[in-house]
Structure 1
Amino acid sequence: FIKTILAMVGKFGITAPFSIIYVYSAEVFPTVVQNGIGMASMCARIGGVLAPLMFFLRHISLEAPMVVCGICPLLGAALTVLLPETANRPLLDTIEEVEGSDV
Structure 2
Amino acid sequence: MTNAFPPKDPAAVLDYEVDWSAWLAQGETIAGTPVIAAPGMTVNPAGKQTQVDGGKVVFWLGGGTVETFHDVSCQVTTSAGRTDRRTFPLRVAAR
Q: Please, what TM-score do these two structures have when normalized by structure 1?
A: 0.27
Q: Which has the higher strand share?
A: 2
Q: Which has the larger radius of gyration?
A: 1
Q: Which has the higher helix share?
A: 1
